[in-house]
Amino acid sequence: MKTFVDSPAVVVAGMPVGPFAMNQYLVGCTVTGTAAIIDAGASPDPFIAFAEARGLRIEAIFQTHAHIDHVAGLAATRARLAAPIHLHPADAPLYANCSAQGAMMGFPCPPPPPVDASLADGQVLALGNLRFEVLHTPGHAPGHVVLWERGQQLAFVGDLIFFDSIGRTDLPLCDGEQMERSLGKLAATLPDETRLFPGHMQATTMGRERSHNPFLKMMGLA
Ligand SMILES: [Zn+2]
Ligand SMILES: [Zn+2]
């Protein structure tokens, strides 16, 4: 487990999990001891151990989207934690179809438990003193969201944008035009200082991607 942020207000830790090296994160309010898992791709054990060592309680599971690499750990996670699963409803078809995704992608996914809470664009999720603004960013997946903590200048961006890259748009239910609009929305909303924690590869910042990301340049968003 790597610790990315450790301040008097917030802790962010994570590790790549599963066959696609999906970055699973834990984010916590260090003042109230309230924490959430972002994208339950695999066993919760290292995240629970990290939370216990830091005196944090995992009280929510926030899903950026419902691709198999991001949900394959939900059944195991809900078996250990009562934390509610949050997902945008537009990803319900992907969520319901995890075993077919698994067959297509070549790794098995136990059926995930029912979603507990729906995410919506513009919603603000409270986690202790932290406030995550939900940005609906479809394209890579219909119900893809970004979770932005404006005050702490950090965002969990799922598979929307990566270091020098962007998420795939060649999978079922992807939409390339929506993807371009969502990247435009991200670029128009997040300040340069915002640290981006993506679903794959290393963390980056909005400013770094604004000035270097070849896909944003190609789309005229750089
Ligand atoms: Zn994905
Ligand atoms: Zn992914």
CA atoms within 13 Å, Cβ hemisphere of 75 = 11
How far does residue 31's CA lie from ligand 1's centre (Å)? Answer: 32
Map out the domains of the chain with their CATH numbers. 2-218 (3.60.15.10)
Q: What span, in angstroms and rounded, lies between the C-alpha atoms of 93 and 83?
A: 22
- The two beta strands, 195-198 and 154-158, are parallel
How far does residue 18's CA lie from ligand 2's centre (Å)? Answer: 10
How far does residue 40's CA lie from ligand 2's centre (Å)? Answer: 11
**Which tens digit of pLDDT belongs to each residue from 138-195?**
999 999 999 999 999 999 999 999 999 999 999 989 999 999 999 999 999 999 999 9
**Which tens digit of pLDDT belongs to each residue from 127-148?**
999 999 999 999 999 999 999 9
How far does residue 7's CA lie from ligand 2's centre (Å)? Answer: 27
How far does residue 155's CA lie from ligand 1's centre (Å)? Answer: 16
- From the CA of 39, the nearest ligand is 2
- pTM (2 d.p.): 0.97
* pLDDT of the residue at 94: 94
DSSP 150: T
**Which tens digit of pLDDT belongs to each residue from 44-76?**
999 999 999 999 999 999 999 999 999 999 999
**Which tens digit of pLDDT belongs to each residue from 27-38?**
999 999 999 999
Q: Give the pLDDT band of residue 100 (cuts 50, 70, 90).
A: confident
Q: 106: alpha, beta or left, given left = phi > 0 and alpha = psi -120 to 50?
A: left
* pLDDT of the residue at 151: 98
Q: What span, in angstroms and rounded, lies between the C-alpha atoms of 96 and 145?
A: 18
Q: What span, in angstroms and rounded, lies between the C-alpha atoms of 136 and 127?
A: 19
Q: What span, in angstroms and rounded, lies between the C-alpha atoms of 190 and 146?
A: 11
Angstrom CA distances, 22 to 2, 14, 113, 175, 210, stand at: 14, 10, 20, 21, 23
How far does residue 8's CA lie from ligand 1's centre (Å)? Answer: 32
* pLDDT of the residue at 104: 79
Residue 126's beta-bridge partner residues?
A: 131
Residue 82 has pLDDT above 90, yes or no: yes
C-alpha angle with apex 178: 176 to 183, nearest 5 degrees?
A: 95
- From the CA of 199, the nearest ligand is 2
Residue 198 has pLDDT above 90, yes or no: yes
How far does residue 71's CA lie from ligand 1's centre (Å)? Answer: 10
Q: What span, in angstroms and rounded, lies between the C-alpha atoms of 137 and 187?
A: 12
How far does residue 171's CA lie from ligand 1's centre (Å)? Answer: 9
| Percent residues over pLDDT 70 in the chain | 100
